[in-house]
A and B are shown apart, each in its own frame.
Chain A
Amino acid sequence: MIMSENGEGGGRTRGHMGPIIITPSTTFFSLLILHLTQNPYNFLLFLVMEGGLVLLGGGANGGGSGGSSGFSTNESAMSEASSYLAETELELGLGLSIGGPTGKINKASGRILTAKDFPVPRRASMNGGTPPSVTVSGTKRAADQSVPHDGGSPTATSQVVGWPPIRSYRMNSLVNNNQAKAPRAEEEHKGINEEEEEEEDKAIKDGSKLKKPNENLGHIGFIKVNMDGIRIGRKVDLNAHSSYHSLASALENMFLRSAGAEKQQLTMPSRLLDGSSEFVLTYEDKEGDWMLVGDVPWMMFLTSVRRLRIMKTSEVNGLAPRFHERNRTQRSKLI
């Protein structure tokens, strides 16, 4: 197997101008690198770098990391490489859609940058150059997160899935610690939640506004969801939802199209919340009681939910009276 050209830094072979040798084990990628240039390492660097700037960018920051990355290719190699650009465009274009105007994210700058777009690269100098203007194809949670903030505010990053890298059971134990410590803060927030509830529908689009009280209560994170009849439960991130509707439809999607080990035909034609399907969504609260989902304000639900269960409607009858009783006492607490 060849792969030495790819495996090594690529910069060791020089004067590699010659016929392209195709052996049974040569792959397309070694073609890419073997072709043409006298100094394949620098050529590759150049293409990678400029292609990166056109298409990828990201990582831009108020801290001033400019467009030029701190690589150490020398200027002469770059200008040499740029003259090859036109010739090699064809080869590179082969079905890969890298470089050039077919590039994906940044529709604005549809041209390939050449040497004159870059200042002389200096290690550790982060000024100058075209600041990348593209957004990272970031997480799917909310549009406002994918644009890098100046300095990166904690508020933005706390909404990114997978950051900080703390396992969920440790996260949940932190939540318990924080909640235990700040009962007063919770009481205050309950008051705030009442007012916010009216604006909930308006505020849904502005995810960040709703997140704030959530953050102060600790990161709720992922909670378990089980459905009657399905052995393996799932987990859902409550932070990703701002209303019961979005939670319910996410759950419907999750269990409706679950394949995996269980191949049961589930007929859940309509919403879990309006009682018209054969399943009902319930949750276990902090005190261990099982309640119907949907009657308390969303934020209050978030503070008290421990886990969810999609129950068969036939089994819910025992639940209802107790729920209504509790609901009455809860409402009186709020007032």
Chain B
Amino acid sequence: MQKKTAYSFPDEILEHVFSFIQSDKDRNAASVVCKSWYEIERWCRRKVFVGNCYAVSPTMVIRRFPDIRSIELKGKPHFADFNLVPDGWGGYVLPWISKMAGAYPWLEEIRLKRMVVTDESLELVAKSFTNLQVLVLFSCEGFSTDGLAAIAAGCKNLRELDLRDSEVDDLSGHWLNHFPDTYTSLVSLNISCLGSDDVSFSALERLVGRCPNLRRLLLNREVPLDKIANLLSRAPQLIEFGTGTYAAELRSDVYSNLVEAFCNCKELKSLSGFWDAVPAYLPVIYSVCSRLTSLNLSYAPIQNPDLTKLVSQCPSLQRMLVLDYIEDSGLEVLASSCKDLQELRVFPSDPFGEEPNVSLTEKGLVAVSSGCPKLQSVLYFCRQMSNAALVTIAQNCPNFTRFRLCLLDPKIADYRTLQPLDVGFGAIVEHCKDLRRLSLSGLLTDCVFEYIGMHAKKLEMLSVAFAGESDLALHHVLSGCESLRKLEIMNCPFGDKALLANAAKLETMRSLWMSSCSVSLGACKMLGQKMPRLNIEVMDEKGPPDSRAESDPVDKLYIYRSVAGPRFDMPPFVWTMDEDFASELS
């Protein structure tokens, strides 16, 4: 045991003090002050966030933190969202659940992102964690409604079940029936990703009816519009609601029921869903519009003027997700009506069309940047951009924390000057000192990367595609961006040099993804040999690396720091470059 001086506090007091420290960073800082603080802190840490499930092993986490109540794990790299990571890559949660089952019987919260979750894992969760209150499966896959049935039956204290964007195998809609009749503690339910036949509506109605604390309910597309009114009338206390399909023949009884139902939801602040929405039914939500802080119309094929009219009625909006049907004109209305807007996402309605189908250009974004002083987070898909517009946007919004611009033609130049968009993005990083996340697109040379390296000191995540001309670009980023944690690159002419020259930087980052670049196998091997605390994973579905030359470029490369060593659950098309790799092949 540690020696205690006359000046040290008893453990209990320190523990109590630590209980006010919630952020991981602060906790980590406290834990390295001295050995006794390390010990006290690790016994009273309740929440762990593992940004890469392969960076550390479950055994290590359990060994250090014996009494965790909340865990968050992330698996696949972000580009898996865009089908760049082949199936079977990994990210299995079962090893974690198995180990935690014995170690953390009091676990209350499990949050998983981009992991493979099997029915077996869910059954184990239901069996092992009787006090589970929160289960969030964000962009996960590998499970079916059978697994959900096990959760429903076993987790009597469940408050939150959120399956956002996950892929669920639909076997039966009756999993909802597995919530016992005595179960009344549901607060948040997000089943928006479920397909057809996955939800027994009557079971859902009964569930909603008996849970008085239900505040958040996001339905799946298959729930028809004429059933919504009934559901809402059982849950007028909802704060957040996601409709199912929002299309139906116009019928006055359905219409008036909906009006009444929405009217009675006095606390409703957030709406989403609206699949296949038809304009005829939009006015039923007018009574709610003035209170709305978040509106997600990104699945609604509604066009102007209906769309703009709706938006103009929502002055309290803080978060807006919409398709490009809103056009520049609609965004101008948004800019003049919604002065509290913090986040805007505009998605393309026809990303592969050769000609633009709507009039959405850089002007819309400029208008919003000018009219909404609190704008912090932008995701914008459009077909043209100019440096001048980007400079204006940057000057209007120095508070940006997230800026993601996606020009549908990824190498398109400034449409007015035909110059690369270096200067525009340069202005963004120069003016927005708090920028944490940036996605680039358009014609970009090494110049923009020099600006990024110079100015983007708080940048944590950078996404790059079809940009740059040489390794210098990558070198600028790796050597200049001090806070960089995640870097993902596709189809850029970056090779070995910058990577090898900045190898040490990689240990300060969570991960680096490079696909369709020019990194050679030899460089990967070298990194693998020289950097034992990095896992260098090469992905190639064409065949094993030993069958090709050292100078051949690898198809996909994923590098991440890890204290757990190389993993052993890789599929046949992933090779890890570690010290043993070379000897294994010889």
Inter-chain CB contacts under 8 Å: number: 295
Report the Cα distance A231→B350, complex, angstroms: 34
Report the Cα distance A174→B325, complex, angstroms: 13
Query: Which of B24-32, B228-236, B412-420 lies at the binding interface?
Result: B412-420
A45–B472 touching, CB < 8 Å: yes
Q: Is A139 an interface residue when CB atoms closer than 8 A count as contact?
A: yes
Most chain-A CB neighbours within 10 Å: which of B119, B480, B551?
Answer: B551
* Interfacial residues of chain A within 165-195, with CB under 8 A of chain B in the complex: 165-171, 173-174, 176-178, 180-181
B505–A58 touching, CB < 8 Å: no
Q: How far is the CB of B441 from chain A (nearest CB, A)?
A: 9
B443–A56 touching, CB < 8 Å: no
| B30-42 interface bits toward A, Cβ cutoff 8 Å, 1 = contact, 0 = none | 0000000000000
A52–B84 touching, CB < 8 Å: no
Report the Cα distance A31→B459, complex, angstroms: 29
B445–A104 touching, CB < 8 Å: no
B551–A102 touching, CB < 8 Å: yes
Q: How far is the CB of A143 from chain B (nearest CB, A)?
A: 13
* Interfacial residues of chain A within 100-140, with CB under 8 A of chain B in the complex: 102-105, 123-124, 126, 132, 136-140
Knowing A55-B495, A58-B493, A96-B500 are in contact, say whether A174-B351 is a contact too (CB < 8 A). Answer: yes
Query: Which of B67-75, B361-369, B388-396, B520-528 lies at the binding interface?
Result: B520-528
Knowing A233-B169, A260-B88 are in contact, say whether A166-B348 is a contact too (CB < 8 A). Answer: yes
A261–B408 touching, CB < 8 Å: no
B501–A6 touching, CB < 8 Å: yes
Report the Cα distance A75→B468, complex, angstroms: 22
Q: How far is the CB of A115 from chain B (nearest CB, A)?
A: 16
B409–A157 touching, CB < 8 Å: yes
B553–A167 touching, CB < 8 Å: no
Q: Is A53 an interface residue when CB atoms closer than 8 A count as contact?
A: yes
A98–B495 touching, CB < 8 Å: yes
Q: How far is the CB of A310 from chain B (nearest CB, A)?
A: 14
Q: Is A229 an interface residue when CB atoms closer than 8 A count as contact?
A: no
A162–B84 touching, CB < 8 Å: yes
A71–B472 touching, CB < 8 Å: yes
B497–A6 touching, CB < 8 Å: no
Q: Which of B81, B169, B501 contacts A165 (CB 8 A)?
A: B81
SS of B interface (majority):
loop
Q: How large is the interface on A (under 10, 10 to 19, 20 to 34, 35 or more residues)?
A: 35 or more
Q: How far is the CB of B220 from chain A (nearest CB, A)?
A: 11
With both beta carbons as reference points, the residue of chain A lying nearest to B81 in the complex is identified as A167
Q: How far is the CB of A45 from chain B (nearest CB, A)?
A: 6
Q: How far is the CB of B514 from chain A (nearest CB, A)?
A: 11
Query: Which of A148-156, A290-298, A318-326 lies at the binding interface?
Result: A148-156
By a CB distance below 8 angstroms, the chain B residues around A237 are 83
Q: Which of B275, B453, B503, B530 contacts A9 (CB 8 A)?
A: B453
Q: Is B79 an interface residue when CB atoms closer than 8 A count as contact?
A: yes
Report the Cα distance A55→B470, complex, angstroms: 9
| A74-112 interface bits toward B, Cβ cutoff 8 Å, 1 = contact, 0 = none | 000000000000000000000111100011110000000
Q: Is B359 an interface residue when CB atoms closer than 8 A count as contact?
A: no
* Interfacial residues of chain B within 431-468, with CB under 8 A of chain A in the complex: 439, 443, 445-447, 450, 453, 463, 465-468
By a CB distance below 8 angstroms, the chain B residues around A260 are 88, 569, 571
A261–B493 touching, CB < 8 Å: no
B471–A52 touching, CB < 8 Å: yes
A32–B84 touching, CB < 8 Å: no
Query: Which of A201-209, A215-223, A270-278 lies at the binding interface?
Result: A215-223
Q: How far is the CB of B534 from chain A (nearest CB, A)?
A: 12
A69–B348 touching, CB < 8 Å: no
With both beta carbons as reference points, the residue of chain B lying nearest to A69 in the complex is identified as B446
With both beta carbons as reference points, the residue of chain A lying nearest to B473 in the complex is identified as A69
Report the Cα distance A33→B82, complex, angstroms: 37
Report the Cα distance A215→B352, complex, angstroms: 7
Q: Is A264 an interface residue when CB atoms closer than 8 A count as contact?
A: no
SS of A interface (majority):
loop
Most chain-B CB neighbours within 10 Å: which of A6, A148, A219?
Answer: A6
B504–A6 touching, CB < 8 Å: yes
With both beta carbons as reference points, the residue of chain A lying nearest to B404 in the complex is identified as A165
| A261-284 interface bits toward B, Cβ cutoff 8 Å, 1 = contact, 0 = none | 100000000000000000000000
Most chain-B CB neighbours within 10 Å: which of A2, A58, A152, A233?
Answer: A58
Report the Cα distance A102→B523, complex, angstroms: 14
| A212-249 interface bits toward B, Cβ cutoff 8 Å, 1 = contact, 0 = none | 00010011011010100001111101000000000000
Q: How far is the CB of B423 from chain A (nearest CB, A)?
A: 7
Report the Cα distance A224→B299, complex, angstroms: 21
Knowing A72-B450, A260-B571 are in contact, say whether A65-B530 is a contact too (CB < 8 A). Answer: no
With both beta carbons as reference points, the residue of chain A lying nearest to B413 in the complex is identified as A63
Q: Is A44 an interface residue when CB atoms closer than 8 A count as contact?
A: yes
By a CB distance below 8 angstroms, the chain B residues around A154 are 352-354, 408-409
With both beta carbons as reference points, the residue of chain A lying nearest to B379 in the complex is identified as A165
Report the Cα distance A226→B167, complex, angstroms: 13
With both beta carbons as reference points, the residue of chain A lying nearest to B418 in the complex is identified as A63
By a CB distance below 8 angstroms, the chain B residues around A104 are 518, 520, 549, 551-553
By a CB distance below 8 angstroms, the chain B residues around A1 are 504
Q: Which of B84, B422, B475 contacts A161 (CB 8 A)?
A: B84
Q: Which of A28, A162, A171 contacts B490 (CB 8 A)?
A: A162
Q: How far is the CB of B391 from chain A (nearest CB, A)?
A: 14
Q: Is A160 an interface residue when CB atoms closer than 8 A count as contact?
A: yes
Q: How far is the CB of B222 from chain A (nearest CB, A)?
A: 12
Q: Is B298 an interface residue when CB atoms closer than 8 A count as contact?
A: yes
With both beta carbons as reference points, the residue of chain B lying nearest to A58 in the complex is identified as B493
Q: Is B263 an interface residue when CB atoms closer than 8 A count as contact?
A: no
Q: Is B491 an interface residue when CB atoms closer than 8 A count as contact?
A: yes
Report the Cα distance A47→B154, complex, angstroms: 62
Q: Is B92 an interface residue when CB atoms closer than 8 A count as contact?
A: yes
B443–A61 touching, CB < 8 Å: yes
A219–B490 touching, CB < 8 Å: no
16 new A-B contacts, CB < 8 A, other than A52-B469, A168-B81, A170-B298, are A47-B497, A52-B470, A65-B469, A69-B446, A96-B500, A98-B520, A103-B551, A152-B466, A154-B352, A163-B465, A166-B82, A170-B299, A174-B351, A232-B88, A232-B116, A258-B571
- A-B residue pairs in contact (CB < 8 Å), sample of 12: A56-B469, A59-B493, A61-B411, A64-B418, A71-B447, A140-B555, A154-B352, A157-B410, A166-B82, A168-B81, A170-B347, A222-B83
